[in-house]
Structure 1
Amino acid sequence: MTDDRDESLEERRAQLGAELASRRAAVREGERGEVRAEVSRKGYAQAMKISSEFIAAIIVGAVLGYVFDRFVGTAPWGMIILLLLGFCAGVLNILRSAGEVATPKPGAPDDEK
């Protein structure tokens, strides 16, 4: 009787151990999926930030060019030039965000001196 009881306890312990291992593996897989989703969300957020900065730079250049043309009367040259400057500023912002161009630090010594 004690042998049957010990055997059934051992079988039950083995079953519980196997079930616990499978649940731990499922939890680990779920955590990996959450980490991948978090990385994906961060990438999406950065892409939205960069694209909105680029579009804002172009719009600001166009608006400033339009206002400049209205007051000075140089239509369409002010808008064309400031629109191109806004585009260049947008590209520079993208390169800075991507880490390709270092941001200037105020008070840093120049290499030419």
Structure 2
Amino acid sequence: MTDHREEDLEERRRRLASELAERDGKARDEERAERNADETRKGYGMAMKISSEFISAIIVGALLGYLFDYFVGTGPWGMIVLLLIGFCAGVLNVMRVVGIVASPHPADRRMEFKDKGDGR
């Protein structure tokens, strides 16, 4: 009789251990999937930031060029030049965000002013 209870108890322990292992595996899989989804959302956010900075720099360059041409009457040349400058500014912004080009450090800016003799 005692032997039968011991066997039942051991069988229950094995089933419980297997169910717990299965639940732990599912929890780990869900946690891994959530981490991947979070990284994907961060990537999409960064892509939107980069693309919006690039496009906005081009649009601002074109708009300033159009206004320059409208008020000064230089034909398409102001728009062409400022559109190219806007494109270059957009590329520089993208390179700064990605980390290829570092933004100038404030201490470096102060050194430039001292070298030029501005006294700042």
TM-score if structure 1 supplies the norm length? 0.94
Unpaired segments ≥5 residues, structure 2: 116-120
Count residues in correspondence. 111
Which one has a larger percent helix, Structure 1 or Structure 2? 2
1:7 aligns with 7
1:19 aligns with 19
List structure 1 segments (4+ residues) > 4 angstroms apart after TM superposition. none
Amino acid at match of 2:35: V
What is the deviation of 1:81?
A: 0.4
Alpha-carbon deviations, 1:15-46, whole Å to 9, x = none?
A: 00111001101110110011111111111110
For 1:75 and 1:58, locate their aligned partners in 2 and report how far apart those are by CA, in whole Å: 19
2:105 aligns with 105
Amino acid at match of 2:99: G
1:49 aligns with 2:49: yes
For 1:80 and 1:59, locate their aligned partners in 2 and report how far apart those are by CA, in whole Å: 12
For 2:40 and 2:107, locate their aligned partners in 1 and report how far apart those are by CA, in whole Å: 37
What is the deviation of 1:106?
A: 2.8
2:94 aligns with 94
Amino acid at match of 1:106: P
Alpha-carbon deviations, 1:43-102, whole Å to 9, x = none?
A: 111011100100000000000000011111101110000000000000000000010001
Unpaired segments ≥5 residues, structure 1: none
TM-score if structure 2 supplies the norm length? 0.88
